[in-house]
């Protein structure tokens, strides 16, 4: 891939995707949207990739959403316009390989396209989260709709309605379940790599089946989700084809504080 806004690297079954527009607060333009669409196609097709780490260059921002100076391409016909999340978001692109998202600095507005659809989100002690749409007279809809499937509804509404007047601290983000771990800034990328490495070492069919079953259950009733989940256990765990000898599985545990 010939990328200009993102760095893509693969090592030991982990694809590391780094937003690389720090001069523009890692905001996304049309080029980044197009490049992410290609990245997700590549991740889906490459069986050497088991896990994705998503992170951002620079210290000021993970991403501040759409680049308001450059904008993104949209059809003149309003009924032909599409959500940029269709290119940026892993699950909308049917990527069932886990995404570990490492957030530092500001995560605002369209940054939630990535955060909402990541499987594990960690952040540094310098991260802040907010959605500025309403402060600029814009309806906050797409990002909060995704966010409401991660955190309590009341918290989603508070973020959406207060706009620029309130920012979530790392501690508050962890309290409401938006992130699962806070680490010092200098340890953020290393910790994301550690988590990804632990997942990447596990049988990929089991991991991808797990991710798909859980995410697709969000669009189903409980009964439908359980029945579909059963089929995934049968597909991901074929009879007589055990992927792991249990006695040889290394026991590595860590305590999340």
CATH of the domain at 150: 3.90.226.10
Q: Does 219 reside within a domain?
A: yes
Q: Does 247 reside within a domain?
A: no
Q: Give, rounded to a whole angstrom, the gap between the first and last alpha carbons of the chain.
A: 39
Q: Does 121 reside within a domain?
A: yes
Both 231 and 189 in a single domain?
no
Both 113 and 219 in a single domain?
no
Q: Does 75 reside within a domain?
A: no
Both 46 and 162 in a single domain?
yes
Q: What pLDDT, on a 0 to 100 scale, did the predictor assign at position 1?
A: 77
For 154-178, what is the mean pLDDT?
98
Residue 64 to residue 21: CA distance in whole angstroms? 11
Structural domain count of the chain: 2
Both 196 and 210 in a single domain?
no
Q: Does 171 reside within a domain?
A: yes
Both 153 and 234 in a single domain?
no
Q: What pLDDT, on a 0 to 100 scale, did the predictor assign at position 56?
A: 98
Residue that wins the pLDDT comparison between 233 and 33: 33
Q: Does 77 reside within a domain?
A: no
Both 172 and 124 in a single domain?
yes
- Which residues constitute the domain of residue 218? 204-241
> Any idea which of 28-37, 124-133, 247-256 has the lowest mean pLDDT?
247-256
Average pLDDT, the chain: 91
Distance from the Cα of residue 214 to its chain's centroid: 15
Residue 8, pLDDT > 90, answer yes
The pTM score is 0.90
For 68-83, what is the mean pLDDT?
78
Local confidence band at 240 (pLDDT 50, 70, 90 cut-offs):
very low
CA geometry: angle 190, 102, 106, nearest 5 deg: 130
Both 214 and 193 in a single domain?
no
Q: What pLDDT, on a 0 to 100 scale, did the predictor assign at position 54?
A: 98
As given in the structure block, the two tokens for residue 200 are 């990447």
* Chain segment 88-145, per-residue pLDDT in tens: 999 999 999 999 999 999 999 999 999 999 999 999 999 999 999 999 999 999 999 9
Both 148 and 164 in a single domain?
yes
Both 185 and 147 in a single domain?
yes
Both 19 and 129 in a single domain?
yes
Do residues 35 and 4 make contact, with C-beta atoms less than 8 angstroms apart? yes
User: What's the helix, strand, coil split of the chain in %, to 5?
Assistant: 45, 15, 40
Q: Does 185 reside within a domain?
A: yes
Q: Up-side HSE of residue 1: CA atoms within 13 Å toward CB?
A: 21
Q: What pLDDT, on a 0 to 100 scale, did the predictor assign at position 76?
A: 79
Q: How far is CA 62 from CA 45, 114, 228, 249, 256, in A?
A: 27, 10, 35, 36, 23
Both 215 and 176 in a single domain?
no
* Chain segment 207-237, per-residue pLDDT in tens: 999 999 999 999 889 998 888 888 888 876 6
Both 171 and 142 in a single domain?
yes
Q: What pLDDT, on a 0 to 100 scale, did the predictor assign at position 140?
A: 95
């Amino acid at each position: 891939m010939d990328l200009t806004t993102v760095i893509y690297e693969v090592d030991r079954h982990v694809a590391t995707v780094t937003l690389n527009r720090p001069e523009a607060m890692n905001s996304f333009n049309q080029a980044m949207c197009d490049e992410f669409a290609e990245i997700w196609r590549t991740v889906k097709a490459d069986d050497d990739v088991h896990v994705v780490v998503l992170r951002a260059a620079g210290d000021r921002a993970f991403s501040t959403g759409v680049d308001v100076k450059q904008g993104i391409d949209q059809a003149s016909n309003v009924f032909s316009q599409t959500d940029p999340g269709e290119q940026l978001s892993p699950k909308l692109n049917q990527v069932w390989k886990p995404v570990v998202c490492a957030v530092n600095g500001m995560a605002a507005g369209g940054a939630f396209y990535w955060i909402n659809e990541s499987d594990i989100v960690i952040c540094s002690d310098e991260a802040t989260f907010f959605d500025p749409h309403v402060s600029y007279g814009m309806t906050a809809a797409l990002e909060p709709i995704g966010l409401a499937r991660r955190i309590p509804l009341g918290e989603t509404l508070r973020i959406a309605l207060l706009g620029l007047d309130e920012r979530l601290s790392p501690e508050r983000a962890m309290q409401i379940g938006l992130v699962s771990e806070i680490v010092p800034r200098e340890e953020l990328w290393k910790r994301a790599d550690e988590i990804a490495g632990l997942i990447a070492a596990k049988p990929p069919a089991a991991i991808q089946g797990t991710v798909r079953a859980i995410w697709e259950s969000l669009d189903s009733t409980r009964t439908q989700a359980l029945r579909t989940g059963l089929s995934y256990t049968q597909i991901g765990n074929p009879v007589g084809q055990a992927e792991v000898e249990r006695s040889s599985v290394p026991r590595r545990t860590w305590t999340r504080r």
